[in-house]
Structure 1
Amino acid sequence: MRIGTMLLTVILLVLLGASAWFAYDGLTVGDETPVSNHAYIAMGLGIFFSLLIGVGLMVLLFYSSRRGYDEPPKLIDENKDPLE
């Protein structure tokens, strides 16, 4: 393995460990902090609209792929017979 690949792997593993520690630390703060109903509504709406946009973009991606919109452009010669 090359040194660049190893360095990248180590950096990514450190970032993964740091994010896992941050998530664990944030989830174990305690139950003393009350969360209002407005926060739950805002979080639910954020999750809903994020999923809606993600699913919509994936639908458009598959739709355009099946309809042939992803095909490379072709030069149409005006002087050539289209039946050839």
Structure 2
Amino acid sequence: MKAFLLTITLGGLLAVVLFGVLTGWDASAMSIHGWIALALGTFLSLAVGGGLMALVFYSARKGYDDRIEIDRSPDSD
């Protein structure tokens, strides 16, 4: 029953959002420079996000995220 209510709620929310987008979208003219900037911004954002996720997985596999044990005995000097 919970899954059914969740599906109905999310479907209704999606319908409201789609209606708002379709009625509020006016075909504003964007120059070719605007489209290029939009494409480059999207690509670079995805590249940075993908690169950071790759670094997270690399760091976890190589053990860089492991806990460091510090020897605090008095004779360690």
> Which TM class, normalised by the smaller chain length?
0.5 to 0.7
Q: 1:2-24 CA distances to partner (integer Å, 9 max, x unpaired)?
A: xxxxxxx6xx736544433333x
User: Residue 19 of structure 2 corresponds to which residue in structure 1?
Assistant: 21
Moved runs in structure 1, 4+ residues, more than 2 A? 12-23, 26-30, 75-80
2: distance between equivalents of 1:43 and 1:26?
Answer: 23
User: Residue 53 of structure 2 corresponds to which residue in structure 1?
Assistant: 58
Q: 1:19-51 CA distances to partner (integer Å, 9 max, x unpaired)?
A: 33333x169645xx4331011111111111111
User: Residue 37 of structure 1 corresponds to which residue in structure 2?
Assistant: 32
| CA-based RMSD | 3.5
Q: TM-score, normalised by structure 1?
A: 0.56
Q: TM-score, normalised by structure 2?
A: 0.60
Higher helix share: 2
Percent of pairs identical after alignment?
37
Unpaired runs of at least 5, structure 1: 2-8
User: Residue 4 of structure 1 corresponds to which residue in structure 2?
Assistant: none
